[in-house]
Structure 1
Amino acid sequence: MKNLLLIAAFCIACYSCGSGNKTLNSNNTEISKNDTIRIANDSLEYEIIIIEPGFESWLVSQPPRGFYGQSLLENKNYQWVTEYNTRVLQPAKYSPSLYTEQINYDPAIDYGYEVNYLLYNYFVYFQDKYNQKFIGGRN
């Protein structure tokens, strides 16, 4: 299965940022609510899981799905993933508790709108919540 993007990176990053208060059962099904968003495209075998308290309530206050075109989301995501990965490789300059693992995002793969929308919004949330500024800003 081609696990995408931040399954590990965001989970570890979010967990290390204080969101490790979740309890998972043996099937890795979330017991706690409102702290996890999972978007999966089983036909493409990609998924994104974001474990971050407050992200879901913040997400509903953002522009709705369809507001941004998929190509804009893909371009921003590729740009921000590249910068995020650069920061992972510079632990003396950027906090290793925020930038834990590199993200595997291939611009040649069509992850679909939902995955790109969610990843884009997580990067916006991440920048706002942790006072991080990525090249290109929000839009």
Structure 2
Amino acid sequence: MKNIFILAFLSVAIFSCGPGSKTIGDTSSSEIATNDTIKIANEALEYEVIIVEPGFDSWLISQPPRGYYGQTKLESKNRQFVAEYNTRVLNPTKYSRNLYTEQINYDAAVDYGYEVNYLLYNYFMYFQEKYNEKFIGGRN
């Protein structure tokens, strides 16, 4: 009888001990998707930019702040990067379908504003760094 109580007590003690609190690096994939999703929308221009890339948000913090580059420079770089990206999307035999999934609609005649151009430019910088891809005119 005494052994049953000891065994029951140990069982309850072991099972009642949870895994403890979350550590800093312990996040579920749904939390990562929520925390690393950046969405910009402008209903007047009928566009929406959604960047879902684990790690992009935290990487962006380490980059030059908003205002560091002028909008004209960002637009020029984005035109160049989008053209190259779209070329790679259309050439699946040479470039990975996993990286280059679909074309990006970026109309040089549309003023998307500073924020869109800043995030798009930095996404291309992040993309090149993370996936070891080199675009013409990118940081090498």
TM-score range relative to shorter protein? 0.7 to 0.9
Aligned length in residues: 112
In the aligned structure 2, how far is the partner of 1:101 from the partner of 1:45?
19
User: Please, what is the CA RMSD of the aligned residues?
Assistant: 1.9
Pairing 1:54–2:52 present = no
Q: Structure 2: state its 5+ residue gaps.
A: 1-28
Aligned to 1:37: 38
The answer on 1:107 being equivalent to 2:108 is: yes
Give how far 1:40 is off: 2.1
Q: What are the within-5 Å matches in structure 2 for residues 1-139 of structure 1?
A: 21-22=29-30, 32-138=33-139
Contact 2:33 2:54 in 1 (8 A): no
Q: Is the 8 A contact 1:78 1:107 kept in 2?
A: yes
Where 1:50 maps in the other structure, the secondary structure is strand
Is the contact between residue 40 and residue 115 of structure 1 (CA under 8 Å) also seen in structure 2?
A: no
CA contact (8 A) 1:47 1:115 kept: no
- Provide the TM-score with structure 1 as the length reference: 0.75
Considering fraction of residues, name the structure with more helix. Answer: 2
The 2-side partners of 1:88 and 1:45 are apart by: 24
Q: Which structure: larger Rg?
A: 2
Q: How many angstroms apart in 2 are the aligned matches of 1:77 and 1:119?
A: 7
CA apart distance, 1:137: 1.4
CA contact (8 A) 2:85 2:100 kept: yes
- What is the rounded CA distance, in whole Å, between the counterparts of 1:101 and 1:92 in structure 2? 14
What's the CA shift for 1:32? 4.8
Bigger relative CO (Cα 8 Å, ≥ 6 apart):
1
Contact 1:85 1:102 in 2 (8 A): yes
The C-alpha deviation readout for 1:72-122, integer Å capped at 9, x for no partner, is: 000000000000010011111100100011111110100111000000000
